[in-house]
Amino acid sequence: MKKWNLAPMGMLTAAVVLAGCATMGPGYEQDKEYQLTILHTNDHHGRFWRNGDGEYGMAARKTLIDSIRAEVMAEGGDVLLLSGGDINTGVPESDLQDAEPDFRGMTMLGYDAMAVGNHEFDNSRDVLMQQAEWADFPFLAANIFEKGSSKTLFEPYEMFDIQGNRVAVVGFTTEDTVKIGNPEYTSDLDFKTPVEVAEDLIPKLNKKADLVVAVTHMGHYANADHGGNAPGDVTLARSVPGIDVIVGGHSQNPLFEPDEQNGTLILQAHEWGKYVGRMDLTLKNGEIVDYDYRLIPVNLKDEVEDAEGNEVMVFQDVEIAEDPDMLAFLQPYQDKGAEALDTVIGSADGDFIGERSVVRSNPTNLGVLIATAQMEKAKADVAVMNSGGIRADLEGGDITYKDVLIVQPFANMLTYVDLTGAELMEYLEVAISKEAGSGAFAQFSGVEIISTNGEINSADVNGAPIDADKTYRLAVNAFMASGGDGYPKISDHPNFVNTGFVDADLLAEYITNNSPLSIEDYDPGYMIDRM
C-alpha cells in the first residue's frame, strides 16, 4: 500500500458518550486548544462492495479511516464518524439482505451516529428496527414522532465528550419522506418540519453543549433554492442560529468546500462512499477557532488516454488497499447476494423486446414496461425512457433479478420533475424528434401521441389533452435528467427530485408486484406517426 500524505491535523479515536450532562459546566481548560476531526459519509445506498472498476467499497473505506485514526491518535485529538443517512436501497446484493452487511460494516468502521434517511423507510418497521440493532451506534431523528405523540421514533440527539468539550450531535430528516416514501411504512408517524423542531431544540442544546453538530438528511440546495423539494440544510442554518456544523445528505452532491451560512459550516460528501469527508477543527474555550476540510476520494478513477491512444482508468489519488478483515467479513454477503440474483421474482406470458436493433428504432413492450414501472414508482403522469438504457430482451417465463440487471445494467437513478403542460409539451417534442436507430430514441408510458413528420398533432395524458396551465409529473432516469442523449436538462429545474431509487431495482419490484405479466398490457400503442 502506498504511504498516505494526509492533511497535517490528525485526531484520536471514539469519543465518550455523556449522560446526565444538563447541569455540567465546561470540562475543558480555558485558553487551551483542542483538536476534533469529523469524518463523514452520506447516501451509502447499499454500496458495501467495490464497483466493477474497483472504486469505493467499505473495505477500502476502513483502511482509510483506520489510517486517519492512527494519525489522529499520535496527535492527541479525537474523531467523530458520522453518516448523513440513506444506507438502504441501491444494489440488489444489499437490498436482498435488508442492508445487513452495510449496517454491520458501519459498526466495524466505528460510526458514532447517523441521520435517519428517507430510504430507511423503504422497508417495514421490523426491518428498520432490526437494522438499528445491527448498528451499535444511534440512529438520530429529532423531527420524526409517533403520530399524535411527543415521543420521537429514535433519539433526537446524542452527547459526546471530546476531552472535556461537550458535543451534541442532533439528527434531522427531510419532511419529504412522507411524499416520496412508502405510505405503508410512514402512516403512523409525523414528520415535523426540521426548522420548527430545531427552533425549540437548538437553544436547549446550546445550554448543554459547547459544540452543536446537526447530522441531517435534508439536502444541500445552494442559496436555499430547494424548488419542489422540502427545505434543506441552508434553510436550516439561516433559520436557526447556534448550529456549528451540519453534516448533510439527501441531495447527493459533493461539497469540496464547506458552505458557511449564518455561522454554520455545511458539509456533504456526495454518495455511495465515493468520498470520506474530513473536517479538522481547532476548538478553544468551547468555540471553533480554525478548521481545515477536504473530501478524500476512495479509489475513484478517471478515464484518460495513454501514450498509445488507449482509454485507461487511473486513480484520482493514492490507491487505498482493502482492509483484509472487512473484506473477509463482507465476502460471504457478496457471495450470498450474487446467489440471490438467480431468485425468481416474477413471470411473463411472452417476450418483452429490448434487442438493440429493434428497441432503438421502434416503440416496444419492454420500453413501455420500464417506463410504466418508473412512472408508478415516481407517482408520475408520464415517463420517458431512452432506448440506449435498454440492453436486452426480457424473455417470457420465469424472470430473475439477474435477467432484470442484464436489461438495465447501468444503476441509473429514477428522477422526476413537476412541469406545466406547456413545459411537458416542449419536452415531448424533443423526445419524439430523437432519431430512430440511436440510443436516444424514446419509449413512453402515460401519454398518447399523434404526430406528423416528427411534429406533435395531439398528446393526451390520463385520457385528456395536455392542458398548458395544468401541472404534470414527468419521470425519467438521471442520465436523461442531466441532459444525456441530448434530452432537455431538467436536473436544475426548481421542481426536480432525484428519488435515489435504482432503475433495475424498481423494475424488479414492479415485476414482483404485477406478475404474472401479460405482454398485451404493455402494447406500445401510445404513438401514431402519420408521416
How do beta strands 189-191 and 144-146 pair? antiparallel
State the catalytic residue, choosing from 125, 238, 294, 356. Answer: 356
How do beta strands 33-41 and 78-83 pair? parallel
86 labelled catalytic: yes
State the catalytic residue, choosing from 43, 102, 244, 403. Answer: 43
529 labelled catalytic: no
31 labelled catalytic: no
State the catalytic residue, choosing from 125, 238, 294, 391. Answer: 391
State the catalytic residue, choosing from 35, 44, 86, 210. Answer: 86
DSSP 486: G
122 labelled catalytic: yes
Residues 6+ apart with CB under 8 A from 1: 63, 319, 320, 321
40 labelled catalytic: no
State the catalytic residue, choosing from 35, 42, 88, 118. Answer: 118
Please name every residue paired with 40 in a beta bridge, in sequence order, or none if there are none: 82, 277
102-127: string of b/e by CB count within 10 Å (b at 16+)? bbbbbebbbbbbbbbbbbbbbbeeeb
43 labelled catalytic: yes
Residues 6+ apart with CB under 8 A from 208: 21, 22, 159, 166, 168
Burial tier of 399 (Cβ tally within 10 Å: 0-12, 13-18, 19+): buried
State the catalytic residue, choosing from 35, 42, 143, 252. Answer: 252
Nearest CA to 250 out of 116, 350, 130 is that of 116
250 labelled catalytic: yes
493 labelled catalytic: no
Nearest CA to 115 out of 229, 265, 262, 267 is that of 267
State the catalytic residue, choosing from 250, 270, 278, 473. Answer: 250
* Cα–Cα dist 207/216, whole Å: 21
State the catalytic residue, choosing from 119, 270, 278, 473. Answer: 119
State the catalytic residue, choosing from 217, 226, 270, 473. Answer: 217
Question: How many other C-beta atoms can be found within 10 angstroms of the C-beta atom of residue 456?
Answer: 18
270 labelled catalytic: no
42 labelled catalytic: no
Q: Residue 447: in which H helix or E strand, if any?
A: strand 447-452
391 labelled catalytic: yes
State the catalytic residue, choosing from 40, 50, 69, 360. Answer: 360
* Cα–Cα dist 32/29, whole Å: 6
Residues 6+ apart with CB under 8 A from 356: 391
State the catalytic residue, choosing from 78, 95, 122, 418. Answer: 122
State the catalytic residue, choosing from 40, 44, 45, 61. Answer: 45
Query: Which grid coordinates are listed for 404?
Result: 432484470
Q: Look up residue 391 and give its amino acid.
A: R
398 labelled catalytic: no
**Which are the catalytic amino acids?**
43, 45, 86, 118-119, 122, 217, 250, 252, 356, 360, 391
